[in-house]
């Protein structure tokens, strides 16, 4: 500003820096809130995988797939809890960066406040001396015009010279202070600009890192889900049916037919009925391939992933 005592430009810079600090605080709070959500979600997943029954009476290969499924869901929950801790650590780093900048900037602000105060006081003093000098000059001209004695003339001239000398000294002092203030102002602006560059760079990197952490979490979760898909690929309908049969079988022969016995007419000599020979149970035909009903998903493999 052309006004020597104005701080409009400086105040605008300080306001912008304060806004930047506030924006960092908002992102810091965002990370903390996200951490709370991730931790709660992770704990809920773990509780779900441990406490909620999910095919607990299944047998053999499908049972193993379900065990893998529950274990990986537990792992996903653990991953979300770990992510929550990571987000808290990042929020802490942002807080430390923000407070560090605040501390460094405070030192410069104190220097600028002091030099503003000195500059304004000297400017005020100079203007007062200037006003006094002008008054003495006007009064002196009047006295010189109406001078009555040599003594009054000498006194007036001396007062005018003292006033003018004081005014010159005040101007000289003000100029030195102005130069010092301008030099400090430039240094402060350069420092503030450096800080703002650091803040934008740190903020951008923090946001980039946060997105990478979320992407990494998704990748890790997909790896856990891939374990479930691999386990399901090993799930064999034929093996599970055979496993159940071998586990619960009661024998390999069918029951013999029931033979009629004549208890009513014991005098007759009935033709004896031969007891049939037990017939072994033949092996069943191949199991049918499960067909998908209308509206149900098909079994498929896409890009190496088994999808249902």
Contact 66, 116 (CB under 8 A): no
Question: What are 147's two structure tokens?
Answer: 């001078």
Give the C-alpha separation, 92 to 206, whole Å: 12
pLDDT at 58 over 90: no
Q: Is 304 left (phi over 0), alpha (psi -120 to 50) or beta?
A: left
Give the C-alpha separation, 243 to 61, whole Å: 9
Give the C-alpha separation, 216 to 213, whole Å: 5
Domain positions in the chain are 13-131+189-239
pLDDT at 271 over 90: no
Question: Which range is least confidently modeled, 44-48, 82-86, 258-262, 290-294?
Answer: 290-294
Query: Could you tell me which residue, 147 or 42, shows the higher pLDDT?
Result: 42
pTM summary value: 0.71
pLDDT digit string, tens, across residues 155-181: 666 777 777 788 888 888 889 999 999
Percent of the chain topping pLDDT 70? 77
> 280 - beta bridge partners?
253
Confidence at residue 130, expressed as pLDDT on a 0 to 100 scale: 77
Confidence at residue 259, expressed as pLDDT on a 0 to 100 scale: 85
Confidence at residue 180, expressed as pLDDT on a 0 to 100 scale: 92
Torsion on CA atoms 14, 18, 19, 20, rounded to nearest 10: 100
pLDDT digit string, tens, across residues 126-149: 888 777 766 655 665 555 555 455
């Amino acid at each position: 500003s052309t006004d020597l005592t104005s701080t409009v430009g400086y105040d605008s810079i300080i306001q912008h820096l304060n806004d930047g600090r506030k924006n960092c605080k908002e992102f810091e709070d965002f990370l903390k809130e996200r951490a709370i959500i991730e931790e709660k979600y992770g704990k809920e997943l773990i509780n779900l995988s441990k406490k909620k029954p999910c095919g607990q009476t299944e047998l053999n290969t499908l049972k193993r797939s379900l065990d893998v499924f529950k274990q990986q869901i537990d792992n996903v929950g653990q991953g979300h809890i770990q992510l929550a801790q990571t987000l808290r650590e990042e929020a802490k780093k942002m807080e430390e960066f923000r407070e560090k900048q605040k501390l460094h900037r405070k030192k410069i602000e104190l220097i600028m406040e002091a030099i503003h105060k000195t500059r304004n006081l000297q400017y005020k003093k100079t203007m007062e001396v200037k006003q006094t000098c002008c008054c003495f000059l006007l009064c002196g001209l009047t006295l010189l015009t109406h001078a009555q004695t040599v003594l009054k003339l000498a006194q007036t001239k001396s007062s005018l010279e003292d006033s003018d000398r004081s005014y010159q000294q005040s101007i000289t002092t003000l100029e030195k202070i102005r130069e010092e203030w301008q030099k400090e102002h430039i240094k402060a602006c350069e420092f503030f600009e450096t800080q703002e560059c650091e803040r934008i760079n740190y903020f951008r990197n923090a946001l980039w890192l946060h997105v990478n952490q979320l992407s990494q979490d998704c990748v890790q979760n997909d790896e856990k889900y891939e374990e479930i898909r691999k386990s399901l690929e090993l799930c064999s309908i034929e093996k599970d049916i055979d496993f159940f049969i071998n586990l619960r079988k009661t024998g390999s022969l069918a029951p013999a037919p029931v033979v009629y016995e004549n208890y009513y007419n014991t005098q007759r000599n009935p033709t004896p009925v031969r007891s049939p020979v037990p017939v072994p149970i033949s092996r069943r035909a191949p199991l049918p391939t499960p067909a998908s009903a209308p509206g149900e998903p098909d079994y498929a493999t896409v890009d190496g992933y088994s999808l249902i």
